[in-house]
Amino acid sequence: MRSVGTLTRADLAEAVNRKMGLSRAESLHLVESILEKMCDAMSDGENVKISGFGSFVLRDKKERVGRNPKTGVEVPITPRRVLTFRASQKLKDRVAGA
């Protein structure tokens, strides 16, 4: 069953199986298809918004100067794209009430 504190693909597929009545294989395929679509969209530079859940937002960070905390030496940090998640207000309210 489910690992403590972690929701897995198998857990999602099991939930789809129970609620939708699809076979286990069909449920897992559905979950995999959704995750694949999300990954493809983000790798193409698109943000992904799931209403009532939140948004996966891509941000381009410019080059900047960082500092090694141990030695204090300044080091350039290369520009890169990062992925952030912003929870919807509904999700925030649910988590706060849990």
Q: Could you report the per-residue pLDDT of 47-57, keeping only the tens digit for each?
A: 999 999 999 99
Three-state DSSP state, 53: coil
Per-residue pLDDT band for 2 (boundaries 50, 70, 90) equals: very low
Asked if pLDDT for residue 91 goes beyond 50, the answer is yes
Q: Could you report the per-residue pLDDT of 5-64, keeping only the tens digit for each?
A: 899 999 999 999 999 999 999 999 999 999 999 999 999 999 999 999 999 999 999 999
Give the start-to-end residue ranges of the domains of the chain: 1-45, 47-98
Q: Could you tell me how far CA 95 lies from the centroid of its own chain?
A: 16
Q: Which CATH superfamily is domain 47-98 in?
A: IHF-like DNA-binding proteins (4.10.520.10)
* Closest to 57 (Cα-Cα) out of 42, 79, 37, 39: 42
State the pLDDT at residue 1: 46
CATH number (3.40.50.1820, 4.10.520.10, 3.90.1150.10, 3.90.550.10) of 1-45 reads: 4.10.520.10
* Entry pTM: 0.77
Strand ranges for the chain from DSSP E? 48-50, 54-61, 64-67, 74-77, 80-87
Asked if pLDDT for residue 3 goes beyond 90, the answer is no
Question: Matching CATH topology for 1-45 and 47-98?
Answer: yes
State the pLDDT at residue 97: 83
Which residues make Cβ contacts (< 8 Å) with residue 47, sequence separation at least 6? 55, 56, 57, 58
